Chain A
């Protein structure tokens, strides 16, 4: 067993074009004075490698540009039980400020430099379907149960649209592959469909929430109901082009535009919540959430729950 105090690890704040990055950087530095910042590196793979290069410790903590950690996280200790733990990447949940979802998207993570330097994802895909869109299918990429931060993907219309669009695409996929219309319900994990539905309908109570909803609906529509190449979702340049094509359009129009087709062709619930309803939903959704320990994995909880 190897114990590592998180406070002994380097902490990298990874920013690109997030509108709130300067404000968050000051808050993070107040919380974690030893934090370092890697800014403006284009592409997820290159940015992660730059973060690894900046770290002076073999294992390091990564904070995404739109994330604010809970200060208590830095008082915790990682208990690494065996060699797998020593090599693994941990991704903890984050609370999403727009829609209240609580999963790995935008959450704190802990990487080893070796893992980052060796990984091939997104832009540097090795050709496997799983790695073309997401790196979470790596067996040493562990989704953790606990939640230690809040993600704010709504600093501007573009940021909110992009966050919704990306999740609207990714939540449709079956291990990185687009399912057929017939497979959609059966093959896409139920939890993904739950998350997708919440992205599609919740968030009008916060700034730019309408753009996040419009983005999520558009992402799902383009992925499942057009011949658009969903692998383009990882390219910021391609997302920029799509954004340019809709910039200036009222997000309310986009929300309504995709509603009927998503409902009739994919049988997705289109039931947008007004601001008060969104606020109510977020207040009560996961209202009784309790962390179980920084090293508890999602799979451990599922196994316990299902009696494996």
Chain B
């Protein structure tokens, strides 16, 4: 038996197998419940334990409330619309041309609607 074999066997007889740590799936979020990242690693910050399916879907269109994932169902639609009172003065026939308010113009305004 070589020296190296002896050294190895001495080591191996006292070898402690690492504990098998079951994989846990986590969704890290900021304090407001907005998702930051899905991970199986121990990172710093707020997190909730989630299922493997939730981990696989890795859906960022969710919010965390009461330690549970809630799908965001609100659809927010942003759209430029003409407005009589406020907005940016644009050429009456071309919205891409910005003009002064004292020139012929139409006002356009960015609106946000939720459904």
Chain A residues within 8 Å of B, Cβ to Cβ: 22-23, 25-26, 29-30, 204, 207, 210, 252, 255-256, 259, 263, 270-272, 274
Contact = CB atoms under 8 A, between A and B. Distances in A.
Contact of A23 (B8, B12, B15, B23): B23
B9 A270 contact: no
B18 A256 contact: no
A22 B9 contact: no
Contact of B8 (A22, A26, A255): A255
23 contacts: A22-B52, A22-B56, A23-B23, A23-B40, A25-B56, A26-B38, A26-B56, A29-B58, A30-B37, A30-B58, A204-B11, A207-B18, A210-B12, A210-B15, A252-B15, A259-B2, A259-B5, A263-B2, A270-B2, A270-B4, A271-B4, A272-B4, A274-B7
Interface string B1-40: 0101101110110010010000100000000000001111
B55 interface: yes
Nearest to B3: A271
Contact of B55 (A26, A263, A270): A26
Nearest to B52: A22
B69 to A, nearest CB: 15
B60 to A, nearest CB: 10
Given A30-B37, A255-B12, A274-B7, 17 more contacts: A22-B56, A23-B23, A23-B40, A25-B56, A26-B38, A26-B39, A26-B55, A26-B56, A29-B58, A30-B58, A210-B15, A252-B8, A256-B9, A259-B2, A263-B2, A274-B8, A274-B11
B4 A22 contact: no
Contacts, number: 40
A272 B23 CA distance: 31
Nearest to A22: B56
A207 B16 CA distance: 11
Nearest to A270: B4
Contact of B9 (A30, A204, A207, A252): A252
Contacts of B11: 204, 274
Given A30-B37, A207-B18, A252-B15, A22 B5 contact: no
Most buried by B among A26, A30, A252, A274: A26
A272 B8 contact: yes
B72 to A, nearest CB: 19
B105 to A, nearest CB: 41
